[in-house]
């Protein structure tokens, strides 16, 4: 919590351009604290206890660089309207799992986005950066630098960025990318765009799943014009069915003789267990009334 004397002190620095409030156990920011800082350009509130992006950021006037890494945000579904913001860093958040629809859409002038080393971040919505205007028109910021390395992303939609060719710096490696039809656009559009300006970065991108493609370079697939298949809806792997059937057939060939032999042994043992009894002979009289037993 920021105490009153600190608020007064900050208010008396009208030309304040850089403010570092990292590692101060903040949970919220009073709107009045930022309203008087007309020239604040850089704000670092990393490694605090924020559960959401602070609404008070709307009180800033010229904020260009926001570092909110290391907080305990779990999901991002909305953001304050800060049209002056150019750079945003959301990294090293141990609880961040999802950036939802239009979650970052109010940062309309964003040029650099760093979403790095969030070990549980598995989803970024295709319209996470979309701003919807008064008449429902949709716009995307013109991102120039994008780093989404070292997360848990398996898929990414092509509509996440309006124009991939305009990006000047990429960071995509160390994600468990799935090489399937949903990510086919990687081979057609993304990999060529990365390779054009950062060949070494394109070479780092590899398939994690499905298992038979693990470790394969996406750059190689892109150059070969590969078509990636769609994975089974229920997670089945039909490509392994032939191998499974082969082993089943071998098992049956081994089991059938054993079962037949066991049945024959059982049959012999069963009939031998009955003792031989006295023989009986029967004689029928003409009138069918006499039965003689010997």
Task: Examine the domain organization and report whether 140 and 244 are in the same domain.
Answer: no
Task: Examine the domain organization and report whether 239 and 148 are in the same domain.
Answer: no
Please report, rounded to a whole number, the percentage of residues in the chain having pLDDT higher than 70.
85
**Is 28 part of any domain?**
yes
Burial (CB < 10 A; 0-12, 13-18, 19+), residue 264, is exposed
Q: Which of 133, 152, 176 is the last residue of a domain?
A: 176
Residue that is written with structure tokens 């990393």 in the block: 46
Q: Which of 132, 147, 176 is the last residue of a domain?
A: 176
CA distances from 218 to 4, 112, 207, 227 (A): 55, 25, 7, 11
Task: Examine the domain organization and report whether 154 and 24 are in the same domain.
Answer: yes
pTM: 0.77
Question: Residue 59: pLDDT band by 50, 70, 90 thresholds?
Answer: very high
- Tell me: pLDDT of 159 over 70: yes
What's the domain count of the chain?
2
**Is 43 part of any domain?**
yes
Task: Examine the domain organization and report whether 21 and 167 are in the same domain.
Answer: yes
| Torsions phi, psi for 213 (to 5 deg) | -110, 5
Give the domain extent around 139.
4-176
The mean per-residue pLDDT over the stretch 144-160 comes to 98
Measured CA to CA, the distance from residue 89 to residue 109 in angstroms comes to 14
**Is 216 part of any domain?**
no
Kindly state the tokens that stand for 127: 């319209």
pLDDT at 7: 76
CATH code: domain of residue 63: 3.80.10.10
Question: Residue 50: pLDDT band by 50, 70, 90 thresholds?
Answer: very high
Candidate from 58-67, 132-141, 239-248 with smallest mean pLDDT? 239-248
Report helix, strand or coil for 246.
helix
Task: Examine the domain organization and report whether 32 and 148 are in the same domain.
Answer: yes
**Is 86 part of any domain?**
yes
Q: 228 near 181, Cβ under 8 Å?
A: yes
Task: Examine the domain organization and report whether 62 and 161 are in the same domain.
Answer: yes
Task: Examine the domain organization and report whether 127 and 239 are in the same domain.
Answer: no
Residues in the chain: 294
The mean per-residue pLDDT over the stretch 161-188 comes to 96
The mean per-residue pLDDT over the stretch 26-52 comes to 91
pLDDT at 107: 98
Q: Which of 19, 1, 28 is nearest to 10 (CA)?
A: 19
Task: Examine the domain organization and report whether 8 and 152 are in the same domain.
Answer: yes
pLDDT at 144: 98
**Is 191 part of any domain?**
no
DSSP string computed for 193-232: HHHHH-HHHHHH-B--BSGGGTT-BHHHHHHTT--PPPPP
Residue that is written with structure tokens 């054009």 in the block: 196
- Tell me: pLDDT of 191 over 60: yes
**Is 201 part of any domain?**
no
pLDDT at 188: 95
Measured CA to CA, the distance from residue 36 to residue 64 in angstroms comes to 16
Q: Which of 109, 143, 176 is the last residue of a domain?
A: 176
**Is 280 part of any domain?**
no
Task: Examine the domain organization and report whether 145 and 257 are in the same domain.
Answer: no
According to the per-residue pLDDT averaged within each range, which of 10-14, 32-36, 221-225 is highest? 221-225
Task: Examine the domain organization and report whether 8 and 95 are in the same domain.
Answer: yes
**Is 284 part of any domain?**
no
* Side-chain-facing half-sphere of 54: CA atoms under 13 Å: 26
Task: Examine the domain organization and report whether 29 and 141 are in the same domain.
Answer: yes
Task: Examine the domain organization and report whether 47 and 151 are in the same domain.
Answer: yes
Q: 175 near 150, Cβ under 8 Å?
A: yes
Interval 192-226: pLDDT, tens: 999 999 999 999 999 999 999 999 999 999 999 99
Q: Which residues does 246 contact at the CB level (< 8 Å), separation at least 6?
A: none
């Amino acid at each position: 919590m920021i105490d009153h004397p600190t608020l007064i002190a900050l208010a008396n620095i009208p030309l304040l351009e850089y403010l570092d409030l990292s590692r101060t156990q903040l949970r919220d920011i009073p709107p009045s604290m930022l309203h008087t800082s007309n020239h604040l350009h850089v704000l670092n509130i990393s490694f605090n206890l924020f559960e959401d992006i602070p609404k008070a950021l709307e009180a800033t006037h010229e904020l260009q660089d926001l570092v909110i890494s290391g907080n305990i945000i779990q999901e991002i579904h909305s953001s304050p309207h800060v049209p002056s913001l150019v750079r945003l860093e959301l990294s090293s958040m141990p609880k961040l799992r999802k950036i939802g629809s239009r979650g970052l859409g109010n940062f309309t002038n964003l040029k650099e986005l760093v979403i790095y080393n969030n070990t549980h971040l598995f989803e970024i919505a295709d319209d996470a950066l979309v701003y919807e205007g008064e008449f429902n028109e949709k716009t995307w910021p013109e991102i120039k630098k994008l780093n989404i390395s070292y997360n848990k992303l398996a898929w990414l939609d092509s509509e996440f960025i309006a124009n991939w060719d305009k990006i000047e710096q990429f960071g995509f490696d160390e994600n468990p990318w799935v090489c399937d039809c949903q990510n086919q656009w990687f081979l057609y559009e993304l990999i060529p765009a990365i390779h054009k300006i950062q060949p070494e970065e394109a070479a780092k991108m590899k398939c994690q799943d499905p298992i038979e493609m693990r470790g394969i370079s996406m750059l190689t697939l892109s150059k070969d014009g590969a078509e990636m298949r769609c994975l089974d809806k229920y997670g089945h792997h039909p490509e392994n069915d032939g191998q499974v059937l082969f082993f089943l057939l071998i098992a049956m060939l081994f089991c059938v003789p054993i079962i037949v032999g066991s049945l024959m042994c059982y049959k012999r043992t069963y009939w031998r267990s009955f003792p031989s009894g006295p023989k009986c002979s029967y004689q029928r009289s003409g009138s069918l009334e006499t039965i003689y037993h010997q």
